[in-house]
Amino acid sequence: MPGKWGLHTFYQKDSRIAPMLPETKRYGKSAFQDMLSRYGSVYVKPNMAHMGKGIMKVWKEDGGYRMLRVKGKPRTFATAESVCGHVLTAVKGKAHIVQQAIPLAEVNGRSYDIRVMMMRDGRNKWRYSGMLAKVAGSSSIITNVRRGGGYVLPIGQALSRSVAKGKQDEQKKLEKELVDASYAICDRFNKYKYSSQIGIDYGVDRDGKLWLIEVNFDYPSHALFARLRDKTLYRLIKRRRRDYKNRR
Ligand SMILES: Nc1ncnc2c1ncn2[C@@H]1O[C@H](COP(=O)(O)OP(=O)(O)O)[C@@H](O)[C@H]1O
Ligand SMILES: [Mg+2]
């Protein structure tokens, strides 16, 4: 089975990557109820969609439940039964996954995740090529910049203003962890299919633990990097792409 579920089971088999995966199940009424009661907050995502489309978040709050779709106002439900019925309707019989919600680190009260670009170079070797933070738009449950209305920040700013708390060594340690994990993901990805560039999305939680959210392959956005004021990474990405295309 392809899609988000297929990729999840594929990465689960790699012992270096498995500890970074949030618990994920195929959506079904009992899987949903079980995860919601254990984690108190879950994401429900269409198996095959991209760019934040169709994503829902459900969580416990004030003795009841809330549900939010991509953006906007949360709806309130009194019982697990009623929120469950509502999600079931929204899912419309299409394949979905249900996943534990990661308590993402925040800057200025908005959660962010991290995009790491891995690209093949002129010798066809995977190379780390840049990373940045994607900050969620106001009251958005997703950090996808276009659909979620968010913005980008240099990675150092996001980390130092949240989990690294201004500590240079903490920040550098996390950046190294992200790069190392990304090489491991490229290794594993090679067994899935050939691709020349992948954009890996990680969440960092409030304890500084890294989580793998998604691996975008074939056409990961370069434009995200053009949004940074400093164009160094964007130029590197464009140059590496040219090197790859002109490889012999
Ligand atoms: N388990 C999760 N915990 C916290 N945030 C999540 C989780 N899953 C998704 N998100 C948020 O939603 C965004 C979109 O999810 P993703 O799985 O990348 O779907 P898509 O393929 O539609 O981009 C992520 O970039 C992240 O901001
Ligand atoms: Mg995504």
Same domain? 169 vs 89:
no
Domain boundary among the residues 100, 126, 161 is at 100
| Claim to verify: residue 189 and residue 239 sit in the same structural domain | yes
Range with the lowest mean pLDDT among 37-51, 59-73, 165-179? 59-73
Pocket of ligand 1 contains residue 214 by CB under 6 Å: yes
Cβ(199)–Cβ(116) below 8 Å = yes
The predicted pLDDT at position 1 comes to: 61
Ligand that comes closest to the CA of residue 213: 1
Point out the domain boundary residue: 58, 84, 100: 100
Distance 213 CA to ligand 1 centre (A): 6
Same domain, 32 and 73: yes
Take residue 105 and report the two structure tokens written for it.
């680190």
- What's the one-letter identity of residue 113? D
Question: Are 86 and 180 in the same domain?
Answer: no
Q: In the predicted model, what is the mean pLDDT of residues 66-83?
A: 90
> Would you put residue 127 in left (φ > 0), alpha (ψ -120 to 50) or beta?
beta
What is the pLDDT at residue 51? 86
- Of 100, 128, 144, the last residue of a domain is 100
**pLDDT digits over 195-247, tens only?**
999 999 999 999 999 999 999 988 999 999 999 999 999 999 999 999 999 99
Q: Which ligand is nearest to the CA of 199?
A: 2
Range of the domain at 84: 23-100
Flag whether 11 is in a domain: no
Task: Tell me how far the alpha carbon of residue 142 lies from the centroid of ligand 1, in angstroms.
Answer: 6
> Which CATH number covers residue 88?
3.30.1490.20
Does residue 203 line the site of ligand 1, with CB under 6 A? yes
Residue 14 lies in a domain: no
Q: Where are the alpha helices (DSSP H) in the chain?
A: 3-12, 29-39, 80-91, 145-148, 155-160, 168-189, 223-226, 232-245
Same domain, 63 and 158: no
Residue 66 and residue 52 share a domain: yes
pLDDT > 80? residue 130: yes
206 lines ligand 1 (CB under 6 A): no
Assess whether the C-beta atom of 195 lies below 6 angstroms from ligand 1. Answer: no
Please name the residue whose Cα sits nearest to atom 1 of ligand 1.
Answer: 101
User: Could you read off the pLDDT of 80-95 as tens digits, one per residue?
Assistant: 999 999 999 999 889 9
Asked if 234 and 170 sit in the same domain, the reply is yes
Q: Could you identify the atom of ligand 1 that is nearest to the CA of residue 52?
A: 22
Based on the structure, what is the number of domains in the chain?
2
Residues 6+ apart with CB under 8 A from 201: 113, 114, 115, 134, 212, 213, 214, 215, 216
Q: What is the pLDDT of residue 140?
A: 85
Q: The domain that contains 123 carries what CATH number?
A: 3.30.470.20
DSSP sequence for 134-199: EEPPTTBS---HHHHT-EEEEHHHHHHTTTTTT-HHHHHHHHHHHHHHHHHHHHHHTTT---SEEE
Q: Which ligand is nearest to the CA of 137?
A: 1
Indicate if 30 and 118 belong to the same structural domain: no
Same domain, 151 and 41: no
Evaluate if residue 123 carries a pLDDT over 70. yes
Residues 158 and 232 placed together within one structural domain of the fold: yes
Query: Which residue, among 233, 204, 244, 48, has the nearest Cα to 129 in the 3D structure?
Result: 233
Task: Quickly state the pLDDT bin for 14 (edges 50, 70, 90).
Answer: very high
| Alpha-carbon gap, residue 211 to 204, rounded angstroms | 6
Alpha carbons within 13 A on the beta-carbon side of 46: 15
Q: What is the structure's pLDDT at 145?
A: 79
Ligand 1 touching residue 142 (CB < 6 A): yes
